[in-house]
Structure 1
Amino acid sequence: MSPSHVAARPARILLTGFEPFGGDGHNPSWPAAQEAARTLRAQGMDAVAERLPCTFGGSTEALEQALTEHRPGIVIACGLAGGRAQVAVERVAVNLQDARIPDNAGCQPAGRPVDDAGPAAYFSTLPVKRVLAALDGARIPAELSLSAGSFVCNHVFYEVMHRAGARGSSVRRAGFIHLPWDERAPRRAADAEPWPTLPAADLARALVIAAQEAARPASGVPDLEIPGGALY
Structure 2
Amino acid sequence: MANKKKVVVTGFEPFGSHAVNSSWVAVQELERLGLGEEVDLHVCELPVDYLAVQNILPSLWKEHQPQLAVHVGVSGIATSVTLEQYGHNQGYQRLDNRSFCPASRCCMEDGPDEIRSVIDMDMVCKRVSGSNIGITVSVSKDAGRYLCDYTYYTSLHQGQGRSAFVHVPPLGAPYSSGELGRGLQAVIKEMLSLLEAGYTEEELKDNKHCRHREQH
CA distance, structure 1, for counterparts of residue 163 and residue 35 of structure 2? 19
Q: Rg bigger for which structure? A: 1
Deviation of 1:43 (Å): 4.4
CA distance, structure 2, for counterparts of residue 68 and residue 27 of structure 1? 27
TM-score, reference length from structure 1:
0.79
Structure 2 gaps of 5+ residues are none
1:173 pairs with 2:162:
yes
Inter-CA distance 112–74: structure 2 relative to 1 (3 Å threshold): same
How big is the alpha-carbon RMSD for the aligned residues of Structure 1 and Structure 2? 2.5
Match of 1:162 in 2: 157
1:182 pairs with 2:171:
yes
Match of 1:105 in 2: 98
Q: Which of 89, 108, 116 in structure 2 is aligned with 1:123?
A: 116
2:208 aligned counterpart, secondary structure: coil
Match of 1:169 in 2: none
Q: Which of 64, 75, 78 in structure 1 is aligned with 2:58?
A: 64
For these two proteins, the number of residue pairs brought into alignment is 207
Deviation of 1:204 (Å): 1.0
Inter-CA distance 220–126: structure 2 relative to 1 (3 Å threshold): closer
Q: Which of 57, 73, 83 in structure 1 is aligned with 2:77?
A: 83
Q: Which of 129, 132, 141 in structure 1 is aligned with 2:136?
A: 141
Q: Is the 8 A contact 2:7 2:66 kept in 1?
A: yes
Structure 1 gaps of 5+ residues are 1-6, 166-171, 184-195
Q: Moved runs in structure 1, 4+ residues, more than 6 A?
A: none
CA distance, structure 1, for counterparts of residue 2 and residue 77 of structure 2? 42
1:227 pairs with 2:204:
no
Alignment of 1:23-102 (within 5 A): 23-40=17-34, 43-100=37-94, 102=95
Deviation of 1:125 (Å): 2.0
TM-score, reference length from structure 2:
0.85
Percent identity over the alignment is: 26
Q: Is the 8 A contact 2:88 2:149 kept in 1?
A: yes
Highest RCO, 1 vs 2 (Cα 8 Å, sep ≥ 6): 2
